[in-house]
Amino acid sequence: MTTENYIKIYSPATIANMGPGFDCIGGAIDIWNEFEFIFQPDECKTSELEIKINGEGKNNLPLDKSNLVYKAFSIHSKCYKSKFQK
């Protein structure tokens, strides 16, 4: 896999919704969301993006175009005329 066909994004977690005071205290936590985007033209049988979710919440998150990450990635691809655009 080359860097031309691969994007990895890390997003820090938050404790803002844990209850009163936690957001004011500003506790540091080491929890991240990790997103990987891989373009595999030789292996693709469809022109649609495919979403795979691992880890906590995988059974609760949508795998279709209603997924927020899908929407954000799709908009990014169109704005920057990325080869990832589908």
Residues of the chain below pLDDT 50: 86
The DSSP line for the chain is --GGGEEEEEEE---TTS-TTHHHHT-----EEEEEEE--TTT-SSSS------STTTTTS--STTSHHHHHHHHHHHHTT-TT--
- 56-78 pLDDT, tens digit per residue, is 878 998 988 898 888 888 887 78
Q: What is the pLDDT of residue 26?
A: 59
pLDDT of residue 33: 81
Residue 9 φ/ψ, nearest 5 degrees: -125, 135
